[in-house]
A and B are shown apart, each in its own frame.
Chain A
Amino acid sequence: MQIDHTVLTKLEKLSHLRIDESKKEEVMGQLTEILGYVDNLNELETDTLDASFSTLEGGTPLREDLPRAENDIAKNILAHAPESQDDFFIVPAIIE
């Protein structure tokens, strides 16, 4: 799998990341090399195998969905957020 400028631009958008122009060639080369390596999995026959996986016998246990409030945690997070007011995080204006 060759990572070109089009794919990298798409990945930057999906990742909310910008890669410096000067580093793009290097990053594309590394991603291409890594993806070339992981293609080795195609040597393995996996058609009959389940696509989900859990190391826990019987899968993840279920529990009652009960409400639980730890309001101090929310207050604590807001108090240390980059910008907050009352019960809200402040962000740049979304609507003009």
Chain B
Amino acid sequence: MITLKEALTKSSEELEELKAELEKKAKGSGLNAYVGFESSGEGVPILVKDNIQVKDWSVTSGSKILQGYIAPYEATAIKNLKSKGMMAFGRANMDEFAMGSTTESSFYGVTKNPHGTDRVPGGSSGGSAAAVAGGIAIAALGSDTGGSIRQPAAYCGCVGMKPTYGRVSRFGLAAYASSLDQIGPITQNVEDAAILYDAIKGHDDKDSTSADFEIEDIANNLNPDVKLTIAVIDDHISQADTDIQKAFASTIKALEKAGHTIVHKEMSNTKYDIATYYILATAEAATNLARYDGVRYGTRAESNTTEELFFNTRSEGFGTEVKRRILLGNFVLSSGYYDAYYVKAQKVRHLIRDEFNAIFADADLILSPVAPSVAPKIGANEDPLEMYKSDMYTLGVNLAGLPGISLPVAKNDEGMPIGLQLIAKAFDEKTLFNGAASMEKAVNYTK
């Protein structure tokens, strides 16, 4: 598949042909990465996760409850990319309401990993990552609340980037956990990620948490030759599978050879990230998802009273994982438990951010695994707590609001990709992308 950079030089006729080819290939791929082939705008086709509003599209967050919903407006990220020679083309499969790490909870069925079709592509932006890795999308948008861009990118062997909280407008992104959600790019390489990130970022007065900072162009100033200080957290790495540890060790060597300085740092156990995230994200989700009641949008269940309408629509429309998180969220917010769970977790968020800040006083970037293993087999993990624990390396970045980028560094003996992530301090996307460009060059990953 041609890169996003190359595609931006093509004529409109060539792009029309490319779109037709993408649709044909996607339909024959058997990956189930696309859940629709809608088209909006003119330019290079970008696949859009099914939770980002494109006006007049049926945007459903991978859920039964939103069947029949038509987006009445356009997300700012979509408006922005349309002004940069790109268009929205197709909806990507995802875990229902972005709640999951495997894309198995989608109303549209599971998406398969192009590197091993008996394996999950990761989640929740599994359709976006599988399509880019499978050569059926040039680039895609995903959303990352607890790792949902970086983890599927790592499982599928492509690049996935989560911007600093506030860099990309959340206007038009179906809310899961509003204090953590960010839209970001999933691409074939680091430069494409920078191009797509540049295209969607920027202040937006329709998002009250949008940062109003001066923004410099990243893609045109990318410098892979910069020498950086990169921190590693030894205690965290020892919790990953041997495959991941081996890839981590060889990446460190490659980075040192490229002239970077590696420093060893400590951080608290990731079990606190997992606990904090699953309290706060479910609390915010319970609140955000209260709007789906069958009155205003999506599907409505048969009912004789309004009370029944709420209960029936939600009980029939939401899947198991979404229900579990709503129940949990309402528990941690309920009278008698609010202080012990919700308030406690909000306080711990300060500790997590302070630990990151302390490391960034001595280092430009942190290198970390993305997931403790390669992509698991479809159906392998049915225990929710075990699935939550597999998010151990990605959650802290969202809780502290930092930018992170996942890129492939190696394959294990079974040919499954291994991705590692770089993390930067808030709003330092420039250093993040420079470090990623350097690491991409240093590890020389073969697809």
Contact = CB atoms under 8 A, between A and B. Distances in A.
Nearest to B402: A55
Interface of B: 68-70, 72-73, 164-166, 179, 205, 208-209, 211-212, 271-272, 274-276, 278-279, 286, 290, 293-300, 303-306, 308-311, 314-315, 318, 323-324, 326-328, 330-331, 334, 337, 341, 343-351, 353, 384-385, 388, 400-401, 426
Nearest 8 Cβ contacts at the A-B interface: A55-B401, A82-B300, A76-B72, A46-B347, A38-B275, A49-B347, A14-B330, A80-B70
Contact of B341 (A38, A83, A91, A92): A38
16 contacts: A11-B327, A11-B331, A14-B334, A30-B324, A37-B274, A41-B272, A41-B344, A49-B348, A53-B353, A60-B209, A63-B208, A76-B70, A76-B72, A77-B296, A81-B295, A91-B295
A27 B70 CA distance: 33
Interface string A23-48: 00001001101110111111010100
A31 B351 CA distance: 26
A69 interface: no
A4 interface: no
B360 to A, nearest CB: 14
A40 B316 CA distance: 34
Given A10-B334, A30-B385, A40-B271, A49 B350 contact: yes
Nearest to A72: B72
Contacts of B297: 77, 80-82
Interface of A: 1, 3, 7-8, 10-12, 14-19, 27, 30-31, 33-35, 37-42, 44, 46, 49-53, 55-56, 60-61, 63, 70, 72-73, 76-77, 80-83, 89, 91-94
Contact of B300 (A7, A16, A83): A83
Main secondary structure of the interface of B (DSSP, over half): helix
A31 B331 contact: yes
B165 A55 contact: yes
Given A17-B327, A31-B324, A60 B400 contact: no
Contacts of A61: 208, 212
A41 B348 contact: yes
Contacts of B324: 27, 30-31
B331 A17 contact: no
Contacts of B279: 38, 41
A80 B69 contact: yes
B445 to A, nearest CB: 31
Contacts of A52: 346
Which of B209, B337, B400 has the most CB atoms of chain A within a 10 A radius of its CB? B209
A70 B276 CA distance: 38
B327 A38 contact: no
Contacts of B344: 41-42, 46
A55 B314 CA distance: 33
Contacts of B401: 55-56
A43 to B, nearest CB: 8
Nearest to B58: A80
A80 B347 CA distance: 42
A80 to B, nearest CB: 4
A55 B295 contact: no
Given A77-B296, A92-B306, 17 more contacts: A11-B327, A15-B286, A15-B314, A17-B315, A38-B275, A41-B276, A41-B279, A46-B350, A50-B347, A55-B166, A55-B426, A56-B211, A63-B205, A73-B72, A81-B295, A83-B300, A91-B295
Contacts of A92: 303-306, 308-309
Nearest to B206: A68
Contacts of B308: 92
A18 B309 CA distance: 12
Which of A14, A40, A76, A94 has the most CB atoms of chain B within a 10 A radius of its CB? A14
